Structure 1
Amino acid sequence: LKAIEADPNAQFGYIGLAWSYRFDATFGWHEQEHNRDEALKLGAEYADKAILLAPDDAEAHNVRARIHTEAGETEQALARFDQAIELNPSNSNILAGSTDPLLYVGRTDEAIDRIEQAKGIDPFHPDWFHWQMGWALWEKNDCGAALTAMRKMSRIQSGAYRMLAGIHACLGNDREAKEALAVFVENSPGESISKERREWDKIWTAPGSLDRWIEHMRIAGLPE
């Protein structure tokens, strides 16, 4: 807000607030103040303002694409990511982030290509690129390679343990799946099968993927 007060005609403060509300919607940081849909709506408004002020700013398009993704607006997300990549093709984070909607709709090979391209641009890329590759390889049912990708993370973040649980369940490692999910649930209380299905039912449209994921979460011990 101070950035906007200092210069209301610059895009940077609006981009920052858009990211804040996107994270709010994703992680439930301020559930007492507003629900997920309200947070996404506010984030979209700030991102749209940033784009209006600076249509050539790739980061403004990137955060708008992320919000489209969280809202289940997959086609809009893909188009906005393409615009961000066109504006800044050397931004590895945008490239890797653009694979979320690709994976949701089953364009897995394209997603893997983009992740590899992002890793090539930035040899010192963040750990979540490996997490993203783990998801992509799980989608291909290549769960051994998915586990290898996840183990390349220097430190597995608590949120990534859910993906790790799904991969172990895919491999038939029931004990490891339950152990991994226990770490995730400890840091994300209230997670359940019904919540997972409700969150992704309209977003994760790749044929069979959501049902397979739910099956693996049940194996890992996620409550109904």
Structure 2
Amino acid sequence: MPLQDPTAWMDDLNVYLDDEEVASTAALWEPELLYRGSRVGAALWLAVVGLVAGVLGAVTFSPGIRGSLAAFGAYLLAVLVVLRAVGPLTRRLLDASMTFHAKSTVFWAVLLAAAAMLGAARDATWAAYAISVGGGVLLGIVHGGNTPRTVRREDAWMMAALPLAPLCTGVATWVHRNALGSMGSIAAAAVAGAIAGAYFVPMSALLAWSRNEAHGLAQLAKLYLHNENFAARAVACLDRAIALAPDDAELYNLRGTAYSKLDDAERAAADWARMTALLPQRAEPIMNLGVDHLRRGQLDRAVELLEHALQLDGNDATIHSNLGAALERRGDLDRAIAHYDHAIAIRPRYPNAFANRAFAHFRRGDHARAVADCERALTLQPHFANAAVNRAHALGAMGEHAAAARSYREALEMDPSPEVREEALRGLEALGAAADDDSAPS
């Protein structure tokens, strides 16, 4: 099974987050995303943290430090004090927004140092570098794949992390094995750890250089767009972002989506028109305008716009899926299913398309296919409440009332959007099942 990007939900604005989750996540993200302190100071501090953490990590794995149980205990206590001081020192020297990066630096630097020292301890040369360099490659891939939210160029972050991590662990292992024989084991480990932790010298510089406040504001706006109650806050973030980057078409696209969620169709259309003026060949603003008409029940205009978007990009699975939704709402079920088929052929792991195709199958009376599509959607996205509701509709139509009631209740346990929650409750009521029995959520 291919690996899934754990952050992909951010770009899928169909994913619903409840009020509390949005507010708490925003409180965590906002300081980091909106840091306005010294970039040079931040880069220097994170580089120092990486070097120190690398030293501590390597010394911890050095056999010399474990020669005396009392000394080792005192060392671990000192390490704990140093690590606990990282957050307060970061807040004092920079500000609270950098504490996450500082703690993350400690974590990754210790792992890099551990890979270097575990390799250095092997007798066989091939085993030493297989562990050290191989561990560095793995850590570079994982760290490079977790791009900081303030960094716009994800490819640049990965392209830097992937070669630098194994280079630092490999060099640290080589130096420890070949150039530090006259040193005591603790001192040798400290030098090797500093070399491994030196990974964060260029990476901290890259973080500071690529920090983009407009991009940070856009990320915060995306978070807010996962709940319509926060759409006004998304607009406020995007107003600030556009003031910083007035020619960034993606910012207008996001603000158009925010205005659409606020039912301000005129401003939404104006922002999507601005994106089209900046990027005339992009289908996304035309698609979003079509979706806005779909939200407001203007089905013929929605179909027209979505078909236009397909002329610009016939291989966009999202456009096919949205056109399928518009056609289904208009009653053209065969064409709707055909477009869902296209969407799934382009993007086989597309839970929304499976769930929407399921509802079209349900409306056409093909209940077994509807259930199968919902099961596939729930396999791809286990907490997809809309798929659970559509499965319940189909099961109920098949006469499997107990299974349908269970599926409605499962949907209610998935923290669904208010609309999906109401649909599930109506489904339970139609089945004659009590929504407030022991198995239903309170």
Q: TM-score, normalised by structure 2?
A: 0.39
Equivalence for 2:408: 181
Alignment correspondent of 1:28: none
Decide which moves more: 75-84 or 6-15: 6-15
Q: In structure 1, what is the equivalent of residue 305 of structure 2?
A: 80
**TM-aligned CA distance change 1:45 to 1:185, over 3 Å:** farther
Equivalent residue in structure 2 for 1:60, among 274, 285, 294: 285
1:37 equivalent to 2:249? Answer no
Superposition map of 1:117-128 within 5 A = 117-122=342-347, 124-128=348-352
Deviation, structure 1 residue 86: 0.4
For residue 42 of structure 1, report the CA deviation from its aligned partner.
4.9
State the distance in 1 between where 2:241 and 2:434 align. 42
Aligned with residue 152 of structure 1, among 372, 376, 388: 376
What stretches of structure 2 of length at least 5 have no aligned partner? 1-237, 436-442
Hey, what's the Cα distance between the residues in 2 that align with 1:134 and 1:21?
30
Paired residues in the alignment total 191
Q: Which moved more, 1:98-107 or 1:181-190?
A: 181-190
Partner of 2:198: none
The code of the aligned residue for 2:409 comes to A
Offset at 1:142?
0.5
Q: 2:354·2:376 contact (CA, 8 Å) conserved in 1?
A: yes
User: In the alignment, does 2:356 pair up with 1:132?
Assistant: yes
Rounded Cα–Cα distance in structure 2 between residues aligned with 1:86 and 1:184? 36
2:113 maps to which residue? Answer: none
Rounded Cα–Cα distance in structure 1 between residues aligned with 2:355 and 2:365:
15
Q: 1:79 to 1:190 in 2, by over 3 A?
A: closer
Check the 8 A contact 1:169/1:216 in 2, yes or no.
no
Q: Report the secondary structure of 2:357's partner residue.
A: helix
Alignment counterpart, residue 316 of structure 2, candidates 63, 67, 91 = 91
Cα shift at 1:115: 1.4
d(CA) in 2 for partners of 1:189, 1:90: 29
Residue aligning to 1:207: none
Residue 3 of structure 1, CA deviation: 4.2
Per the alignment, residue 71 of structure 2 pairs with none
Q: Deviations over 1:159-212 (max 9, x none)?
A: 32221221111111111222222233342486699x76xxxxxxxxxxxxxxxx
- TM-superposed deviation, 1:60: 0.7
**Residue 163 (1) aligns with residue 401 (2):** no
- Give the fraction of aligned pairs with identical amino acids, expressed as a percent: 18
Cα distance, 1:192–1:86 mapped onto 2, change above 3 Å? closer
Q: Assess if the C-alpha contact under 8 Å between 2:249 and 2:275 holds in 1.
A: yes
**Higher normalized helix content (fraction of residues):** 2
> Secondary structure of the equivalent of 1:172?
coil
Q: Structure 1 residues 112 and 217, CA, compared in 2 at 3 Å: closer, same or farther?
A: farther
Cα deviation 1:112-160 (Å, max 9, x = unaligned): 11111222223x4322221122111111110011101111222341232
In the other structure, the counterpart of 1:211 is none
Distance 1:192 1:99 in 2: 19
Separation (CA, whole Å) in 1 of partners of 2:334 and 2:349:
20
DSSP-derived class of the 2:376 partner:
coil
Which stretch of structure 1 is more off in the superposition, 7-16 or 67-76? 7-16
* 1:40-51 superposed matches below 5 A: 42-51=267-276
* Alignment RMSD (CA, Å): 2.9
Name the aligned partner's letter for residue 116 of structure 1. D
Match of 1:218 in 2: 430
The structure that has the greater radius of gyration is 2
Tell whether the 8 Å contact from 2:374 to 2:388 is kept in structure 1 after alignment: no
Query: Is the alpha carbon distance of 1:63 and 1:179 closer, same or farther for their aligned partners in structure 2, counting shifts above 3 Å?
Result: same
Which residue, 316, 320, 339 being the options, matches 1:114? 339
Quick one: structure 1 residues 149 and 3, their matched pair in 2 at CA, closer, same or farther if it must change by over 3 Å?
A: same
Q: Does 1:11 align with 2:276?
A: no
* Cα deviation 1:31-73 (Å, max 9, x = unaligned): xxxxx535x5654443343334444320111111111111111
